[in-house]
Structure 1
């Protein structure tokens, strides 16, 4: 059952052209090679922040990846004072809609998460937009939390560009992590809770199917949910 009232869903539908865009079908996944450089030593639990357009779909993808303990929608790249949905949607805060992924490196590495991110979670060649969503808040970005994450991310972007697996160069910006601020409760688990919402049907459910088809060994049927974990 959705966490939204009828009024909330109607309101979200009304602003769909402004934030987390209109109903335009998702792009196909791109099959890409594994990273040749990955983390060599990692803690028992690690965090990584990914930005790739509307956070509904990015969160939904990572929630279905084995080894991911949590995937939380939120904002990164700007200040705490402006980390709210309406303000971020103006595109003037420096924030990007992001997803903080907590994972077990023994089950899934940072490099493997990057492979999924670039392959099925979003299109890394689109500058300051993803599909129907326009603005710097929808940019492709990685907010790295360690020198090793930076090394892996920059090496992989270079590897993919040199291999020309995409028709255009990757524009994903690698930036230092400067804070992550969870999004409002109604944004959490949006894909799972609202599978018939038009934006989800056209833009995000295909990403889940692509994950299942392209990365069957990494896919898990039951997503790890934020709201369930919080009770």
Structure 2
């Protein structure tokens, strides 16, 4: 089933796109929630670490982390399904088991894994929505923390339990916590999408507010100039 986002992409640009958006727009921009930091967030002496997270359309997830201080790279892609292959066409069908995901490489000295998760649960997406975010529905838009190590699993599991016990969200968290089988970078046209398409009605309605919420709730962690995949490829 095509999502509204995919339908809008197919419409093109200009007046046609705007008319199509007016007809198709649904859902509301996520309302960010100020959440307490993880009570358990041990230091990580590594110079570089990475996490893979899924929280709806990867354009917005990537955009938030590209504006997060301490992030070294954020790549849109697919995880959670067939460990041998993934591409946008097949994943969009919702039949492959993959979720649109973002691999976030970060400097633990500037950004802890716990803080990365705090941003994930507060401004990146709504972790109480099952198999959807905003106007996009399907298992490919589910909420997942793909852990790479027992340490990541413990931090995430404890934080989810902490948030649920505190009842700081409107409903129980439905985020899956599963080991990472494989991560497949998405096609080049999906990378840096929010930065390259600021005039897109989808970006303006659903993703730009997330970046604004990051700046508002995590001012010390916000960076004005995003770290882009394209810049690293040409470096």
* Structure-2-length-normalised TM-score: 0.89
Please tell me whether the aligned partners of residues 23 and 198 of structure 1 are also in contact (alpha carbons under 8 angstroms).
Answer: no
For residues 61 and 75 of structure 2, what CA distance do their matches in structure 1 show? 10
Residue 111 of structure 2: aligned partner: 108
- Deviation of 1:10 after TM superposition, in Å, equals 1.1
1:148 corresponds to:
151
Q: 1:88 aligns with which of 83, 88, 91?
A: 91
| Inter-partner Cα distance in structure 1 for 2:42 and 2:139 | 29
What's the secondary structure of 2:195's corresponding residue? helix
Q: What is the aligned counterpart of 2:227 among 221, 224, 229?
A: 224
**Cα RMSD for the two superposed structures:** 2.0
Give the SS at the match of 1:71.
strand
Q: Does 1:134 align with 2:140?
A: no
- The separation in 1 between residues aligned to 2:194 and 2:153, in whole angstroms, is 29
Deviation at residue 131 of structure 1 after TM alignment: 1.0
**For 1:38-92, what per-residue CA distance to the aligned partner results, in whole angstroms no more than 9, with x for missing partners?**
1333411001001000000000000000000000000001125541001001111
Is there any run of 5+ residues in structure 1 with no aligned partner, and where? Answer: 1-6
* Shift, 1:27, TM fit: 1.8
Choose from 160, 163, 169 the match for 1:166. 169
Cα offset, 1:228, TM superposition: 1.5
| C-alpha contact (below 8 Å) 1:24/1:203 kept by paired residues | no
Quote how far apart the aligned CAs of 1:121 are. Answer: 0.4
> 1:105, 1:169 → 2: CA distance?
29
Aligned residues of 1:88 and 1:96 also touching (Cα < 8 A): yes
**Is the helix fraction higher in 1 or 2?**
2
Pick aligned residue for 2:12 from 10, 13, 17: 10
Shift, 1:171, TM fit: 0.3
Give the number of equivalent residue pairs: 220
Aligned partner of 1:50 in structure 2 is: 53
The 1-side partners of 2:29 and 2:179 are apart by 29
* Aligned counterpart, 1:200: 203
1:35-46 counterparts in 2 under 5 A? 35-46=38-49
| CA deviation vs aligned residue, 1:92-138 (integer Å, no higher than 9, x gap) | 11100000000000000000000000000000000010111100000
SS, match of residue 73 in structure 1: strand
Report the CA distance shift for 1:203/1:149 in structure 2 as closer, same or farther (over 3 A). same
